[in-house]
A and B are shown apart, each in its own frame.
Chain A
Amino acid sequence: MSTRSARVLPGFSLSLGVTLLFVSLILLLPMTSLIGQLSTLSWSQYWAAITDPRLIASYKVTLLAALAASLFNALFGLLMAWVLARYTFPGKRILDALMDLPFALPTAVAGITLATLYSRNGAVGSLLDPLGIEVAYTWLGIALAMAFTSVPFVVRTVQPVLEDLPAQADEAALTLGASNLYAFRRVILPHIWPAVVTGTGLSFARSLGEFGAVIFIAGNMPYRTEVVSLMMATRLEEYDYAGAAAIASLVMLVSLLLLLAINLWQGRFYRRLHGGRH
């Protein structure tokens, strides 16, 4: 009797082998070389590289803009997911497809388009200018570009969860006398909350590293509208590979910690929801 063939589904070793090969090539190899670059730095050099005052200013700009963008996306993405999941209307499928546009569009194109629209003499910017609102070349513009490129994260994580919640749950709440707001707060929100947090977290993580869309609208003024990813690009242009790697390692660490936190928290939530059995 053979000891192999315990698996019924075919192709396990082949598919796993190919997967691991690609993981090594596109994930592990670049990360290894990143760490290799870091190893040329001493701790004090590393510390100096990541605490450059101009860089610290860019941390603030990036964090602030990414926070604003992901909070906006949490609200707007939730609304969008709600509209797509709960109603039927003509053109719904087109709207649904449009939601993926930010992923499909080259980010540089998005950046240039936004910069053109929102610059002081652009179509939208010329309307906002008399009101004293400047978007292009301010942190607001950066946030706008970040929001644009990362909104599908929220929509696409919340939408399936909303579709999964039967309409009967809202109806049950209404028959029990709940107001719309109460039903939303106590019935719908707890159900979709983990998805909203996950989507917002992903949107935030993506915004932290966004480059293409941001640099065109940011203006890139030192200490004011420079983002972290631009600082990395600048270091690379100066052939300071170790410096770029130092910043990259920090950004990566923050993103990874963020994703880890989200996953842990979400896992706990779902275990609770499914009665601790799954």
Chain B
Amino acid sequence: MSISVTGVSRRFGNTTALHPLSLEIAKGEMVGLLGPSGSGKTTLLRIIAGLETPNSGSIHFGDRDVTHVHVRKRRVGFVFQHYALFRHMSVFENVAFGLRARPSSERLSNAEIHDRVHHLLERVRLEALAKRLPAQLSGGQQQRVALARALAVEPEVLLLDEPFGALDAKVRLELRRWLRHLHEEFNFTSVFVTHDQEEALELSDRVVVMSNGRIEQIDTPQTLYRAPANRFVFSFLGETNRFAGEYREGRLHRDQAWIQLDKAGAPTSEVLLRPHELILTTAPDARAHLPVTVDAVSPVGSDVRIELTADWMDTPWLASITHHDFDRLRPERGGAFFVIPARWHQFAPENA
């Protein structure tokens, strides 16, 4: 089932949670709504679900206009951030809830409900825990119950609000992979909200980056990371080092430090650099003169992360270099080096 959001906006009192925005989601697609808190992503998700009414605009599921359709008639599966399981019901009854809640004319027989619930519990590997109460399960297990409960009514649209936000890193990784498989098997359209860029980039076919109630960019994870549309998207998608200064004859100066920019490029007062785009050397060259002091070294993981300070910086920089370079340079706390930018990014100034 495809989803079309057209010109939807939402205000709460005097604050605008969503400026009019539009979004097309194809059938079977998995889309992540990514943004900092207060960006309107949860509001948008709740409007799609029908838990919130938009002040303007319309929502279509396929050809069906659902803007004024009540949430219980929209047939969406919704997974809440804190699971919202029914605490007094067993795991089995939680999953069966949607099936039992149907009007008697459409209700399945007890045996059919039993079969379907057990099949789902098998899929989420919780069959052995069917008789337990939610309080007896771990966070990850509760989240799987919540997913099974939402899937029991066979929704064509699955909406997830920060689904893995409250779980620890290892469980989160496992559940992500598992959601991906479930998505492929059941082939529903899904939209999930997250503030974790890694989660959004890993899980989504396309990511919608939001801030202050507006959509900043909609793209595949690769395009988003390689070609961010603006400064906000760039800085939200990863760690960012900033060099601000004065533009003079193709160079950006700050005190005695400078970076050589393209002669043909537009003048700018700021460039942004990713940690892996910094080259650490012992001498400056024609590309840049950026003296730095090593403040901290963390040789954990596939790269070595080095925190750098200098007088000309507003905030400390972060460089990530290979273990090979690390062995060659042997940077230690207090050591003096130079940085050469392999690549940099410049954006039009934001109208704040």
Contact = CB atoms under 8 A, between A and B. Distances in A.
B78 A177 contact: no
Interface residues of A, number: 24
A173 B82 CA distance: 14
B77 A275 contact: no
Contacts of B101: 173, 176-179, 182-183, 186
10 contacts: A175-B51, A176-B72, A176-B150, A176-B153, A177-B101, A179-B72, A186-B97, A187-B86, A190-B88, A274-B135
Contact of A166 (B84, B102, B135, B136): B84
Interface centre among A172, A175, A178, A179 (most CB of B within 10 A): A175
- Give the top 3 A-B pairs by smallest Cβ distance, nearest first: A176-B98, A168-B84, A275-B136
A124 interface: no
Contact of A277 (B71, B89, B103, B136): B136
Contacts of A178: 72, 97-98, 101
Contacts of A172: 78, 80, 84-86, 149
Interface centre among B75, B80, B97, B102 (most CB of A within 10 A): B97
A177 B98 contact: yes
B310 interface: no
Given A273-B133, A275-B136, A169 B86 contact: yes
B87 interface: yes
A240 interface: no
B72 A275 contact: no
A273 B97 contact: no
B294 interface: no
B153 A177 contact: yes
Contacts, number: 81
A127 interface: no
A177 B75 contact: yes
Interface in A44-69: none
Contacts of A175: 49, 51, 71-72, 74, 76-78, 150
A272 interface: yes
Interface residues on B, range: 20 to 34
A275 B153 contact: no
Contacts of A275: 132-133, 135-136
A138 to B, nearest CB: 41
B68 to A, nearest CB: 15
Interface of A: 166, 168-169, 171-179, 182-183, 186-187, 190-191, 272-277
A176 B133 contact: no
Contacts of A176: 72, 97-98, 101, 149-150, 152-153
Contacts of B103: 179
Contacts of B150: 175-176
Interface of A, secondary structure class, is helix
Interface centre among B70, B75, B84, B135 (most CB of A within 10 A): B84
A88 to B, nearest CB: 12
Contacts of B76: 175
B129 to A, nearest CB: 11
Contacts of A174: 51, 70-72
A257 to B, nearest CB: 27
Contact of A171 (B77, B80, B152): B80
Contact of A272 (B49, B72, B86, B133): B133
Interface in B126-143: 132-133, 135-136
B12 to A, nearest CB: 12
Nearest to B50: A175
A177 B50 CA distance: 12
A39 to B, nearest CB: 48
A172 to B, nearest CB: 4
Contacts of A179: 72, 101, 103
Contacts of A171: 51, 71, 78, 80, 84
A121 B88 CA distance: 51
A277 B74 CA distance: 39
B102 A177 contact: yes
A159 B321 CA distance: 58
Contacts of A182: 101
A84 B135 CA distance: 28
Nearest to A274: B135
Contacts of B86: 169, 172-173, 186-187
Interface string B118-129: 000000000000
A173 B77 CA distance: 11
B88 A168 contact: no
A57 to B, nearest CB: 43
Given A174-B71, A177-B72, A178-B72, A191 B87 contact: yes
Contacts of B49: 175
A168 to B, nearest CB: 4
A219 to B, nearest CB: 46
Given A175-B77, A273-B133, A168 B72 contact: no
Interface in B63-112: 70-78, 80, 82, 84-89, 97-98, 101-103
